[in-house]
Amino acid sequence: MQLQKRPKLNIHRSKMEILLDIICLLIIIGNVIYIIIMYPCLPNRIPIHFNGNDVADGWGNKAFV
C-alpha cells in the first residue's frame, strides 16, 4: 500500500502570532540570561522537594537548576 500524495498547506501566521512568538522568545532568552547571571550566587545545596506543609525535605546540588 502506497501513501497518497498529500497536499502541502501553507498556513500563514498573522502579525499577532509573530509578535507573540517574538515576545515569548525574548522572555525565554531573558530567563536564561538571568539564570546564568544568578547561578554563582546560589548556595551549593538547594531545596529540590517540598512536603505538603511547604517544608523542604529534599536537597540537591545547585546544578539541578
d(CA 23, CA 40): 27
Q: 8 lies in a domain? A: no
Q: 37 lies in a domain? A: yes
Q: Which residue has the cell 537548576?
A: 65
Q: How confident is the model over 11-53, as pLDDT tens digits?
A: 999 999 999 999 999 999 999 999 999 999 999 999 999 999 9
Residues 52-59: what's their mean pLDDT?
Answer: 92
Is residue 46 within 8 Å of 37, Cβ to Cβ? no
Handedness of CA 27, 30, 35, 36 (dihedral sign): positive
Total structural domains within the chain: 1
pLDDT of residue 1: 57
Output the nine-digit C-alpha cell for 10. Answer: 501553507
Is residue 61 within 8 Å of 45, Cβ to Cβ? yes
**What's this model's pTM, rounded to 2 decimal places?**
0.64
* Containing structural domain, residue 50: 15-64
